[in-house]
């Protein structure tokens, strides 16, 4: 077994060949593209051969790479199936779901109470992570993730689109009633969401689309997840970009006030992502029905 290359490199190699390019492999493995290149380079050094070559703008596998892939793909697939089966056999029975902290806190948990009421003996476990690469899809029954709906090897159902609008507490909103978009952007106080993967709308996006003449944006404070941003907003500490669907109930209950009538939107959104085998189960169907029956309004 000492002759085996690093398993991480083999996993990356298999995904690159199967999916056709590094970008799709990075998305499936929930890592950045530089990490994919690093693992491929490590495997090439270990094997002493070139596995991919550049042809114009494309990176294509060599003949040696394709031969190697055909030799190892079946074994890797068998390892994956055996690992998933073993993990699930050792996991306590119930529903295991993963998502981002803000989605869990303000959107998911209230809805899971419906699932719990209909299935009182069902144990539900929710895990959270701020970055996609820290959410192990193979270790949970399903996950709520942000993206374009394309998770190779998984089934996905859109729960809500990306629709964001500035929100503030009622007291802060009243003090900003006469302020223009430009004044709000310049003076804040703005709450920024740190997003290393550049997935979601930012205050810069808001400025570019709603107030392009504004040159400076209040630096305010930066937090690491949307749950913290909304909590700080509820406390009256600043203005955040809130996701419609997540904040609708807080607006209805007058805990938050929308500061603009023209939200930003994109084709992206939040999806329930899982293996098709889970989606076809009774509990999988019920979870999907529960999470989609009260869709957010635009």
User: Chain-centre distance of CA 194, in angstroms?
Assistant: 14
Statement: residue 295 has pLDDT above 60: no
Q: What are the counts of helices (DSSP H) followed by strands (DSSP E) for the chain?
A: 13, 11
Express as a percent the part of the chain with pLDDT over 70. Answer: 95
CA–CA distance, 206 with 122 (Å, rounded to integer): 42
Q: Specify the pLDDT at position 298.
A: 46
Domain boundaries, the chain: 7-90, 92-298
Statement: residue 136 has pLDDT above 70: yes
Kindly indicate the confidence band of residue 1, based on its pLDDT and cuts at 50, 70 and 90: low
Q: Specify the pLDDT at position 133.
A: 77
Statement: residue 63 has pLDDT above 50: yes
Per CATH, domain 7-90 is 1.10.10.10: yes
92-298 has which CATH code?
3.40.190.290
CA–CA distance, 150 with 156 (Å, rounded to integer): 7
Q: Specify the pLDDT at position 120.
A: 83
Kindly indicate the confidence band of residue 82, based on its pLDDT and cuts at 50, 70 and 90: confident
CA–CA distance, 275 with 142 (Å, rounded to integer): 8
Segment (H or E) for 14: helix 7-19
Neighbouring CB atoms inside 10 A of 25's CB total 25
Between 152 and 84, the higher pLDDT residue: 152
Is residue 30 within 8 A of residue 86, CB to CB? The reply is no
**Structure confidence by residue, pLDDT tens digits, 195-243:** 877 788 999 999 999 999 999 999 999 998 888 999 999 999 999 999 9
CA–CA distance, 26 with 10 (Å, rounded to integer): 14
């Amino acid at each position: 077994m000492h002759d085996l290359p690093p398993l991480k490199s083999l996993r990356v190699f298999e995904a690159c060949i199967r999916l056709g390019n590094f970008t799709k492999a990075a998305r499936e493995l929930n890592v950045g593209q530089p990490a994919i290149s690093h693992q491929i380079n490590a495997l090439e050094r270990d094997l002493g051969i070139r596995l991919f070559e550049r042809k114009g703008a494309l990176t294509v596998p060599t003949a040696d790479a394709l031969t190697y892939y055909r030799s190892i793909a079946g074994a890797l697939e068998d390892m994956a199936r055996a690992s998933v089966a073993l993990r699930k056999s050792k996991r306590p029975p119930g529903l295991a779901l993963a998502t981002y902290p803000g989605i869990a806190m303000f959107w998911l948990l209230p809805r899971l109470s419906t699932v719990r009421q209909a299935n009182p003996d069902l144990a539900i476990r929710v895990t959270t992570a701020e970055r996609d690469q820290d959410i192990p899809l193979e270790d949970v029954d399903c996950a709520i993730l942000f993206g374009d709906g394309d998770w190779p090897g998984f089934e996905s159902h859109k729960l809500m689109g990306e629709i964001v609008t500035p929100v503030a507490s009622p007291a802060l909103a009243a003090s900003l009633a006469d302020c223009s978009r430009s004044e709000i952007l310049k003076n804040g106080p703005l709450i920024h969401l740190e997003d290393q993967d550049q997935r979601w709308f930012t205050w810069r996006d808001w400025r570019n689309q709603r107030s392009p003449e504004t040159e400076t944006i209040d630096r305010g404070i930066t937090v690491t997840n949307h749950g913290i941003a909304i909590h700080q907003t509820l406390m009256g500490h600043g203005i955040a970009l809130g996701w419609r669907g997540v904040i609708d109930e807080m607006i209805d209950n007058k805990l938050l006030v929308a500061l603009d009538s023209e939200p930003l939107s994109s084709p992206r959104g939040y999806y329930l992502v899982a293996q098709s085998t889970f989606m076809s189960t009774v509990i999988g169907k019920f979870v999907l029905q529960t999470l989609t029956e009260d869709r957010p309004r635009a």
